Amino acid sequence: MSRHQYLLVDDDITFAETLARSLQRRGQDVAIAHDGGTALALCEAVQPERIVLDLKLEATSGLGLIADLLAIAPRCRIVVLTGYSSIPTTVEAIKLGAMDYLCKPASVDDILAAFGKDQGDAAVELPHTPHSVDRLEWEHIQRVLNEQDGNISATARALGMHRRTLQRKLQKRPVRT
């Protein structure tokens, strides 16, 4: 396995440190950032080849960092990792320049495999059933939240729902398909 410089951007300190140790045991160099500002500063300092970027950081969306990270390190490859996956955020991450998008929990092997892929896989297995209504609702909320730049109040108004109701829905894990 080739040695690469990684930048892990995740506000979950325990997860980031565990992933860093796993990558280091495999001979990789790793820097960790827990917020957007630190991520940009570390990207400038270490010029990573690979970035693992959490979609939902405490104060910002990881989507907003993709263009800035690529401007600082144009040859780096970005994999977005999230526990809040949806089709709209996946599409936006790829459009903004991420090379792949993985749902948590993802193993170190999953992450390394994502960086190892240079092309899409036309043989990927297609789902056998359509998404549930709850899953469609989750994805619609995520799409509107993204359109409102993460603003909860504006999203609640756009959806015609009470702000607290929206907050409760957002605190839940994504609904399975």
- Tens place of pLDDT for every residue, the chain, 177 residues? 689 999 999 988 998 999 999 999 999 999 999 999 999 999 999 999 999 999 888 878 889 999 999 999 999 999 999 877 777 888 889 999 999 999 877 889 999 999 988 766 556 676 667 777 887 787 788 878 877 888 889 999 999 999 999 888 887 666 555
CA 12 to chain centre: 13
Check residue 148 and report its DSSP letter.
T
Residue 5 has a pLDDT of 96
Residue 124 has a pLDDT of 60
Residue 156 has a pLDDT of 92
Residue 144 has a pLDDT of 85
pTM, to two decimals: 0.72
Q: How far apart are CA 32 and CA 17, in angstroms?
A: 8
**Nearest Cα to 53, choosing from 73, 39, 41, 42?**
39
Residue 173 has a pLDDT of 63
Give me the domains of the chain, ranges plus CATH numbers: 5-116 (3.40.50.2300), 133-171 (1.10.10.60)
Q: How far apart are CA 145 and CA 155, in angstroms?
A: 5
Residue 37 has a pLDDT of 93
DSSP letters for 27-47 = T-EEEEESSHHHHHHHHHHH-
